[in-house]
Amino acid sequence: MAATNAGLSARTAAGAFRPDLYYRLAGMIIWIPPLRDRTEDIPPLVEYYLSEFAAEMRVPVPSLIPETVEVLEGYAFRGNVRELMNIIENALIVSEGAAIQPKHLRFRSPDADVPTPPVVGIDEANPLPPAVEAMLAEQAQIRRALAENRGNIAKTARQLGLSRQALYRRLEKYGIQ
């Protein structure tokens, strides 16, 4: 199974994508609209990922206030479901067990290595927990190293002092492609 938002048939015709690979992938095509066009899917996806991440972190599943759902439904998810997953995982960490509010949401600018400030004001007296800051710093470091090494996993892993398997786990964890 593979997913893409690129027009592979046009890219194949233009010589920018291998025809043999295109025909291998094009055996059965299922088109799913982007998340921004399926806002009715956001609440059940949020509930699902909240329960999954809470189970992974061994914490109770927090509640979600209605305003938070409204903010998520109004956001144009460029990163699709993967971006929603990252936002929910970060919100779970930042909320520290409290009901998830819009101030716990961190949206990522397409050109930035770090999330934007929350959509609603953050309490300046209560900055991000150190674990969250470390996680965001690690994400930025991985993105920079990948860019410097032009996506070469082996070189990036060596530069970061990681095994390739450890780097792959972090890429998956942070939703970095």
- Evaluate whether residue 40 is within a structural domain: yes
Which of 42, 39, 60, 64 lies closest to 51, judged by CA? 60
Total domains in the chain come to 3
Do 151 and 106 belong to one domain? no
Cβ-contact 53, 89 below 8 angstroms? yes
Q: What is the pTM of this model?
A: 0.55
Q: What is the pLDDT of residues 114-124, one digit of tens each?
A: 455 444 444 44
Residues 50 and 121 in one domain: yes
Q: How confident is the model at residue 85 (pLDDT cuts 50, 70, 90)?
A: very high
In a domain? residue 81: yes
Is there a single domain that holds both residue 50 and residue 97?
A: yes
Q: How many Cβ atoms sit within 10 Å of the Cβ of residue 55?
A: 10
The token duo for 70 is 């409204």
- Say yes or no: 140 and 63 in one domain: no
pLDDT of residue 96: 84
Report the alpha-carbon distance of residue 49 to residue 86 in Å, rounded. 9
**Is residue 6 one of the residues assigned to a domain?**
yes
Domain extent for 80: 35-127
45 and 117 together in one domain: yes
Q: What is the CATH number of the domain that holds 115?
A: 1.10.8.60
CA angle 171–165–53, rounded 5-degree value: 45
Residues 4-48 have pLDDT tens digits of 767 778 888 888 888 888 888 777 777 788 888 888 999 999 999
- Same-domain status, 61 and 105: yes
Residue-level pLDDT at 7: 78
Q: What is the pLDDT of residues 110-152, one digit of tens each?
A: 555 545 544 444 444 445 455 556 677 788 888 888 889 998 9
